[in-house]
Chain A
């Protein structure tokens, strides 16, 4: 299992979702990815994308105009 990070700061939806989707394609099931962004829309869009594509959201948090989502890549 590896843990990766993805910086989507300044990008507006759906670009953070697209970047997440592209990054996840390079990872293996069980790998963990932390996505950081400044668009609050990622807090609903990335979990929605995870649900329909079989990935698991482990954590969401926000602070100081930044938003973080930690996800585990599904099969």
Chain B
């Protein structure tokens, strides 16, 4: 009796990786999914934090896809390892801070390590030639296979017929004739295939949850790097980029202003790590201060804090300033008029 072969499928939560896994499962291969958390798949975080969105949290699409396929899913924390991919991408960035080609190489390499550790036979991805301008082109497909170290253990079932034979095909673990030859950006072949498999609910649009392609989010990350003078980050930094209004009145400090109660509660958890400000004479948001402010900067920060509270039109607002050691002092300030907050302070 032939040994049942085992494949690990990179599951992003989108339709392509779902179809790729399904195509190989249909050939009797045992498939398990793997999903990498880089720290930048933060699509659902606003829903998790803000009160108005909490009632309908976003589902984790990778888990959902695995459940639809009936396969196990291994979610791997690669936050630390991923820093080098984002900070020093050998193949550069896309339109924003998306190092898509390096990212794909990294993930396939990480899947190869998992494969070896878990005694699996080959790797599946949902890549399609021509689907993505940076990472899914005919000339980048061999780069991903080679530089990841996966070589011909990497099978792309959706476009395999347009690529050289891989080991699983040569060895007969999968039948090449039952694989596909999809190319280009059209989603029609995938939609037709989904219909054929009876899949009628999938994440749209494809492209995943990575916020490194979001111009507003990445502007905040660039600002963070510029302020630090170095391209580095901790997980808390990237989490906070998704929360509140970010206002930088000067290069040496920025403010994160909670926009509603849920964000305020979330920011409370960071009060030991940042100077925090809150209006005590009127209702107002919690504000975190990131940086090394002078006394004058703190006074300005207090005036901005007052600006975002219910005392914005009052002559005087008392603002409590709490330092990282828990020492609090209250300063009376005049709220900064709206006209005195230039647009370019908003990151």
Indicate whether A and B interact: yes
Q: Which residues of A contact B165 (CB under 8 A)?
A: none
- Beyond contacts A15-B77, A17-B60, A52-B71: 13 other A-B pairs, Cβ-Cβ < 8 A, are A12-B44, A12-B45, A14-B37, A14-B60, A14-B63, A17-B63, A39-B57, A40-B54, A41-B47, A41-B57, A48-B59, A49-B75, A52-B63
Partner of B239, one of A12, A51, A53: A12
Is B74 close to A, CB under 8 A? yes
Provide 19 A-B residue pairs closer than 8 Å at the C-beta atoms, listed in order of the A residue: A10-B269, A12-B239, A13-B48, A14-B60, A14-B62, A14-B75, A17-B60, A18-B37, A21-B74, A40-B57, A41-B58, A44-B59, A44-B60, A45-B63, A48-B64, A49-B63, A52-B63, A52-B66, A52-B67
Chain B residues with CB under 8 Å of A21's CB are 74-75
Interface residue total, chain B, C-beta cutoff 8 A: 31
* A residues in contact with B21, CB < 8 Å: none
Asked if residues B57 and A44 are in contact (CB atoms below 8 Å), the reply is yes
Residues on B with C-beta less than 8 A from A48 are 59-60, 63-64, 67
B219 within 8 A of A: no
**A61 CB within 8 Å of chain B:** no
Is B42's CB within 8 Å of the partner chain A?
A: yes
Instruction: Answer yes or no: B113 CB below 8 A from chain A CBs.
Output: no
Over the window 37-68 of chain A, the binary record of Cβ atoms lying under 8 Å from chain B Cβ atoms (1 yes, 0 no) is 00111011100110111000000000001000
Q: How far is the CB of B57 from chain A (nearest CB, A)?
A: 4
The binding surface of chain A is classed by DSSP as helix
Distance, CA A10 to CA B59, complexed state (A): 18
CB of B265 within 8 Å of the partner chain = yes
What 1/0 flags go to B34-49 for Cβ under 8 Å of A? 0101000110110111
Query: Residue B44 contacts which of A13, A49, A53, A65 (CB distance < 8 angstroms)?
Result: A13
| B72 partner residues in chain A, CB cutoff 8 A | 52-53
Residue of A12, A18, A45, A48 most packed against chain B (CB within 10 A): A12
Quick one: CB contact mask for B153-183 with A, threshold 8 Å, 1 for yes?
A: 0000000000000000000000000000000
In the complex, are the beta carbons of A41 and B60 less than 8 A apart?
A: yes
Please measure, in the bound complex, the distance between the C-alpha atom of A44 and the C-alpha atom of B60, giving whole angstroms.
8
**Within 8 Å of chain A (Cβ to Cβ): is B73?**
yes
Residues of A within 8 A of B47 (CB): 41
A13–B35 Cα distance when bound, in Å, is 13
A44 to chain B: which residues have CB within 8 Å? Answer: 57, 59-60
Asked whether, in the complex, the Cβ of B77 is within 8 Å of the Cβ of A43, the reply is: no
Chain A contacts for B64, CB-based, 8 A: 48
Which residues from 49 to 92 on chain B have a C-beta closer than 8 Å to any C-beta of chain A? 49, 54, 57-60, 62-64, 66-67, 70-77
Inter-chain contact A13/B77, CB cutoff 8 Å: no
Give the chain A neighbours of B76 by CB distance below 8 A.
Answer: 18
Q: How far is the CB of A56 from chain B (nearest CB, A)?
A: 15
Is there contact, CB below 8 Å, between B73 and A52? Answer: yes
Q: Are B57 and A15 in contact (CB under 8 A)?
A: no
Contact with B along A1-26 (1 / 0, CB 8 A): 00000000010111101100100000
Alpha-carbon separation in the docked complex, A14 to B35 (Å):
10
Q: How far is the CB of A7 from chain B (nearest CB, A)?
A: 13
Known contacts A40-B54, A52-B73; A65 and B265 CB within 8 A of each other: yes
| Most A C-beta atoms less than 10 A away, residue of B49, B60, B66, B71 | B60
